[in-house]
Amino acid sequence: MRTTKILIFGWTAVLLAGFSSCSNGVRRDPGSIYMPDMAYSRAVETYSDVKYLNDQGIHYDATPVAGTVKRGGIAVFPLSKDQGTDTTNYVASKQVANPYAQLDPKDFLEAARLYRVNCAICHGEKLDGNGPIYNGGNGPYPIAPKNLIADPVVSKMPEGQMMYSVTYGKNLMGSYASQMSTRQRWMVIHYVKTMQSGGKPAAAPAVTDTTKAK
Amino acid sequence: MWILCQYPPLNLHPVFRVLFLITIRFLNGMNQPKSSLRRSLSVYLVLISLFFGKNLIAQDGKALFQTNCASCHAINKKLTGPALADLEARGPWADRKKLYAWIRNPAAFAKTDEYSANLLKEYSPVLMTGFASLTDQEIDAIVDYIKKPAPAPEAKTAGAPAEPAKDNSFLFGILALVLAIVALILLQINSNLKKLSDVKEGVETPDPIPFFKNKAYIATVIILLFLVGGYFTIQGAIGLGRQTNYQPEQPIYYSHKVHAGINQVNCLYCHGGAMEGKHANIPSVNVCMNCHMAINEYKGPELVREDGSKVNGTAEIQKLYKYAGWDPATNKYTGEGKPIEWVKIHNLPDHVYFNHSQHTKAGGVQCQTCHGPIQEMGEVYQFSNLSMGWCINCHRETSVKFKDNGFYSIYEKFHNDIKNGKMDSVTVEKIGGTECQKCHY
């Protein structure tokens, strides 16, 4: 009689402690799923681990062949990156013309959006080299990004040379070839050139930036 | 007053001395004719402007540095060009004349000076731009600005961090248990006393039935077990395969709060693929290095993991350098990088098709609608449960941006209905957003 009582009290205590401990914790484990054969892809998906292919002797390389043009894309930038201290192609890039010398208002808005997403973080929405990451020297970025309007080096730079810098990077600026397609890079350069010459977009930039962090 | 005029404090700065004298003359002049009063007032103003003018130039050092030098040089960090701190202790730069010559025309000066020729070699192919238009005073102002010690980081005013709210449920549980035991003991005592009094009064009582044989007890326990067990079984079955709040530890402590929140990096800067196709890219390491080539230390607010342990932001950036194969000492890639194996958080089963661009570009949905307050997350967790009910519910309730949207131009009937005022908005469901084959095929 007495032992039964003690047993029941003991178990109640253990159960209560158990429930209270699992109520709030960090969920580091994804848990289990019903039907693995329907949940996991048999095809090689983006970002899936392909190391096992190498073990089977299958060569898999996700890198496209150099010079590949994607469907619907335009020809890649014709000059390759200078090696070491050579500046031949950087100088030669001055001669490359922008295939998007004219943009219709819709594309111009798209170019403005691309500028705001990819460039404004450093060079500023007003192209004044004072993006949120520099913020007049108070941001985390230690040096001043180029002022795209007031700095004569950039305001007089031919579009081809800008394209070279955006494609391969220049000084502390990295390459943006992985973030923007060839067409998008030319469009952004057209936008920067237009803004440098004081040009205004054809329509008010009413494009909604759907993904801006608030 | 006269004595003061004759013996102004001698240890004052000359400008102060002159100001002092003029002030006294001005005060004296109060009693004098107007013209002389005006004259001394104007002299006073000129002197004041001169005095503060000197201050303005000193302040200008920062502005001059930022417009002319800061795109390649930092004070304490080697970047495109060398760090400028302790400039005068190196090479020939203690001699201001040499410094002027170098800044105005680096290429020409390097031909006459070995130290600067080596500098050009070290930082090749970047050649420092000449600043022929800078005057001696301006260069002095810049050097003065560089020499000034950096302002000490703001003292932490917050004091001790706020105590995390304690979870009291365990204490309450123990308390409830103790009270229950006390209640049971009291009941026992009560029944024992009753028994004793019954025996005393000679009332016959039947032998008590032990409670584990008492039918009422057993029935109550079984019903309770059925309800509680059933609840947890059903919850567990629904939750199986769902990963709400899944928050894995990543190979690098990357804080969306610091990047997208505090520093306002656009979501699409790294996840540009969300507008282009099925996947929102996981950025490759070169995207990180766009900024982190220059940003090699973390100075923001303290970072804390979900389990409460502290994170050293600078050490996490060093981890990134290891993955990228970047040598921060020489500012060059070593070519020995390896990919960062981020842990995927949002896992949809293979039998569901989901496309990001369909939602962001065509639908104009914000990232936060599905991913939650991502700009406030130190470690990202799965905000929505990604269940089918959740998808369908949103498709039923959300109106699409129907007007002026090229993606929906073929729905002529709806366009006409909107024009005629028969309907005011089109939900996703109306354009087929709840059909099975849209997502399962």
Q: Same domain for B52 and B89?
A: no
Whether residue B129 contacts residue B120, with contact meaning beta carbons closer than 8 Å, is answered with no
Whether residue B292 contacts residue B320, with contact meaning beta carbons closer than 8 Å, is answered with yes
Q: Same domain for B344 and B265?
A: yes
Residue B11 pLDDT greater than 50, yes or no? no
Residues B350, A41: C-beta atoms closer than 8 Å: yes
Q: What is the rounded distance in angstroms from the CA atom of residue A136 to the CA atom of residue B66?
A: 8
Q: Same domain for B378 and B347?
A: yes
Residues A211, B261: C-beta atoms closer than 8 Å: no
Mean pLDDT of B385-413: 87
Looking at residue B225, what is its pLDDT? 96
Show residues of chain B in contact with A132, CB under 8 Å. 263-264
- The pLDDT tens digits of the residues spanning B42-74 come to 555 554 544 444 444 455 777 777 777 777 777
Looking at residue A209, what is its pLDDT? 46
* Residue B420, in any domain of the structure: yes
Q: Same domain for B10 and B140?
A: no
Q: Same domain for B391 and B418?
A: yes
Identify how many contiguous H helices and E strands chain B contains and give both numbers: 18, 4
Q: Same domain for B255 and B205?
A: no
Whether residue B303 contacts residue B317, with contact meaning beta carbons closer than 8 Å, is answered with no
**Residue where one domain finishes, among candidates B117, B147, B177:** B147
Q: Same domain for B344 and B409?
A: no
Q: Same domain for B342 and B274?
A: yes
pLDDT tens for each residue of chain A, 214 residues long: 566 666 666 666 556 555 544 445 788 888 888 888 888 888 888 888 888 888 898 888 777 887 788 888 888 888 888 887 788 889 888 888 888 888 888 899 999 999 999 999 999 998 988 899 988 888 899 888 989 988 888 888 999 999 999 999 988 899 999 899 999 999 999 999 999 887 765 444 444 444 444 4
* Residue B109, in any domain of the structure: yes
Domains of chain A: 102-196 (1.10.760.10)
Nearest CA-CA partner of A109 in A17, A19, A209, A182: A209
B167 touches A: beta carbon within 8 Å: yes
Residues A171, B72: C-beta atoms closer than 8 Å: yes
The domain that holds B107 is classified in CATH as 1.10.760.10
Q: Same domain for B256 and B400?
A: no
- The pLDDT tens digits of the residues spanning B269-306 come to 999 899 988 989 899 899 999 999 989 889 888 898 88
Q: Same domain for B263 and B277?
A: yes
Show residues of chain A in contact with B287, CB under 8 Å. 174, 178-179
What is the pLDDT confidence band of residue B381, given thresholds at 50, 70 and 90?
Answer: very high
- The pLDDT tens digits of the residues spanning B81-118 come to 777 777 777 778 777 777 888 887 777 777 777 787 77
Domain count for chain B: 4
Residue B383 pLDDT greater than 90, yes or no? yes
* Residue B152, in any domain of the structure: no
Q: What is the rounded distance in angstroms from the CA atom of residue B257 to the CA atom of residue B263?
A: 8
- The pLDDT tens digits of the residues spanning B155-206 come to 444 444 445 456 788 899 999 999 999 999 999 999 889 888 888 888 776 7
- DSSP of chain A, one letter per residue? -HHHHHHHHHHHHHHHHHHHHTSS--B------S-HHHHS-SS--TT---HHHHHTT-----SPPTT---TT--PPPSSPPPPTT--HHHHHGGGPPPS-S---HHHHHHHHHHHHHHTHHHH-TTSSS--TTTGGGTSS--SPPP-TTT-HHHHT--HHHHHHHHHH-BTTB---TTTS-HHHHHHHHHHHHHHHTT---SS------TT---
* Average pLDDT for chain B: 80
Show residues of chain B in contact with A41, CB under 8 Å. 350
* Residue B353, in any domain of the structure: yes
Looking at residue A2, what is its pLDDT? 60
Interface residue of A24, A210, A212 to substitute, partner B, most B CBs within 10 Å: A210
Q: What is the rounded distance in angstroms from the CA atom of residue A17 to the CA atom of residue B156?
A: 39
Q: Same domain for B340 and B398?
A: no
Q: Same domain for B289 and B345?
A: yes
Residues A208, B307: C-beta atoms closer than 8 Å: no
Looking at residue B290, what is its pLDDT? 92
Looking at residue A10, what is its pLDDT? 62
* Residue B377, in any domain of the structure: yes
Mean pLDDT of B425-440: 89
* Residue B160, in any domain of the structure: no
B134: domain range? Answer: 69-147
What is the pLDDT confidence band of residue B323, given thresholds at 50, 70 and 90?
Answer: very high
* Residue B126, in any domain of the structure: yes
* Residue B159, in any domain of the structure: no
Nearest residue on chain A to B295, alpha-carbon basis:
A141
